[in-house]
Copies of this chain bind each other. A is one copy, B any other.
Amino acid sequence: MLEMLTCQHCLHGSRKKRITAIARKSPVLRKTAYHHGDLRAQLVNAVRMLVEEKGPDRFSVSEACRAAGVSTAAPYRHFRDKQEMLLAVAIEGMQRLAGRMRASAKRHPTGSTARIAATGHAYVRFATKEPGVFRLVFGLTVDHRKSDEMIAEGNRTFGVLLEEVAAYFNKPEIDADVLRRGFALWTFVHGFSFLKIDEKVDVVKMNIDIDEMIRETTERLLA
C-alpha cells in the first residue's frame, strides 16, 4: 500500500506533489521509492499471480506489465529476460515452501512420525494452494540447474525433511539410509501433489482422507 502511494505514474497535479513530499520524508520509502516504488518487487508479485492464474507456461511478460501498470520495456531494467523473471518467482516460491514445512514440523515433537508427516502435509498444502507456483518450482519451465541459488534452495527444502528423518532415527547426520527413506517420502507427497493439482484424482469421490493417508504412508515407509 505504501509503495503504491509513491507511484508517480498514477497521480496528477497537486496530489502528485503532496505525496511525493511524503515519500521524501519517509526513510523507509526513500530506500525503495524510485519512480514506481519498487518495480522489481511489484513485477515479481504480478508474475506470481499470473503464473497462478494461467500456469507457468502461459504466463507472458506483456501481461505482467499490464498488471503492474508499466510499459512492456520496463522489466528489462530489472531482469535480463522472461526466464529471469520466472526464476525470481521460483526461488521465492521454493523458500516459502521450505518455510511452511519448517513451521508445520515445529508443531510436533522432535523425532515423531507426526512431525515428519507434517512436513509432507505442508508440501501437499502448498501445491494445492499455489499449483501454479508449485509447477514452476518443480517443473521444467525454468531451467533450475542453471541457477546456483535455485539449486541451493532446493537442497535446503529437501534438507528440512531429511533432518526430521535423521532425528527420527536418532542419527547425528544424514546417511544413505536417511536419504533413501527421505527420498521415498518426498516422492510420495510429490506424486500426490501432482495427481491432485492435475485433477487426476477426486479425493472426495475416492473417499480418501488425505491426512490419514499421509500419516499412514509415512509410518509404513519409515518402518
Show the binding face of A for B, using Cβ within 8 Å.
55, 57-58, 138-140, 144-145, 154, 176, 179-180, 183-184, 186-195, 198-201, 206-208, 213, 217, 220-221, 223
Majority secondary structure, A binding face? helix
Our pick among B57, B176, B183, B213 for the contact of A57 (Cβ within 8 Å) is B57
Q: Which residues of B contact A186 (CB under 8 A)?
A: 191, 195
Our pick among B144, B194, B213 for the contact of A194 (Cβ within 8 Å) is B194
**A138 in contact with B190 (CB, 8 Å):** no
User: A144-B199, A183-B208, A191-B191 provided; 20 other pairs, C-beta below 8 A?
Assistant: A138-B200, A139-B198, A154-B200, A180-B208, A180-B213, A183-B201, A183-B213, A184-B188, A184-B213, A186-B191, A187-B188, A187-B191, A189-B191, A190-B194, A190-B195, A191-B192, A191-B193, A217-B221, A220-B223, A221-B221
Our pick among B176, B191, B198 for the contact of A188 (Cβ within 8 Å) is B191
- How far does the Cβ of A151 sit from chain B's closest Cβ, in whole Å? 10
**A198 in contact with B138 (CB, 8 Å):** yes
Assembly CA distance A218 to B100 (angstroms): 29
**B220 in contact with A140 (CB, 8 Å):** no
Q: Can you give 7 A-B contacts (C-beta < 8 A)?
A: A57-B57, A138-B194, A176-B207, A180-B213, A183-B201, A187-B191, A220-B221
Q: Which residues of B contact A187 (CB under 8 A)?
A: 188, 191-192, 195
